[in-house]
Amino acid sequence: MKLTKKTHACIRLEKDGQTLVIDPGSFSEEDAALGADAVLITHEHPDHFDMNRLRVAMEANPAAAIWTLRSVAEQLSAGFPGRVHTVGHGDTFTAAGFDVQVHGELHAVIHPDLPQITNVGFLVESSVFHPGDAFTVPEQPVETLMLPVHAPWNKISEVIDYVREVAPQRAIDIHDVLLKDLARGMYDMHIANLGGADHSRLAPGDTTEL
């Protein structure tokens, strides 16, 4: 399986000629979802869910479909009838040949005064876990954790503890567009030294084989 990092929280996975895209949001490239056979969306925030990016993908591939939680599916179903599937915690499905499990229910708390929205994470091929905006811990081993390193709802000590709790073989950074290059070395050092897993980051467009 080949993983390609796109800007911010979006990744592309390719296997057997099929492409799965997760969270093509407003901070990602305009063509982040183009070429997708299936798209997964973790929650409704615009940096993870952008209608224009989805429309590009769905119009380019009439067979493409979307799997997401109810709050997003309700916004999409009218525009893409029959191509949007609602999922929640505990569900399993196959999208574009990829086996997917759904974990989690709520977005991490940004501030107690703000409503807490829903959020799901996707475990793909029992290997790659994208948690969206939460520190969800799947109930089974994870080989590759897509690690949200910088957000209004987290701090570096929580990121490190999350890696420790999930205990993946490797952690690869996502949710990083707001983190300046000047600070990346400090984040890299602490996560690598304290997280207990192989830690790396990919520039947008970079790929790795899993």
* 65 Cβ neighbours under 8 A, 6+ residues apart: 38, 39, 83, 84, 85, 95
Phi, psi of 15 (to 5 degrees): -155, 130
Residue 109: DSSP 8-state: P
The string of pLDDT tens digits covering residues 123-152 is 999 999 999 999 999 999 999 999 999 999
CATH, domain 2-201, list 3.60.15.10, 3.40.50.970, 1.10.357.10, 3.30.300.180: 3.60.15.10
Phi, psi of 128 (to 5 degrees): -105, 125
Asked whether the whole model's pTM tops 0.85, one would answer yes
**C-beta of residue 79 within 8 angstroms of C-beta of residue 50:** no
The string of pLDDT tens digits covering residues 36-69 is 999 999 999 999 999 999 999 999 999 999 999 9
The residues with which 12 forms a beta bridge, in sequence order, are 4, 21
Q: HSE, CB side, 13 Å, CA atoms: give it for residue 84.
A: 19
**pLDDT band for position 116 (cuts 50, 70, 90):** very high
Give the burial class of 35: count Cβ atoms within 10 A of its Cβ; 0-12 exposed, 13-18 middle, 19 or more buried: middle
Give the burial class of 203: count Cβ atoms within 10 A of its Cβ; 0-12 exposed, 13-18 middle, 19 or more buried: exposed
The string of pLDDT tens digits covering residues 165-207 is 999 999 999 999 999 999 999 999 999 999 999 999 999 999 9
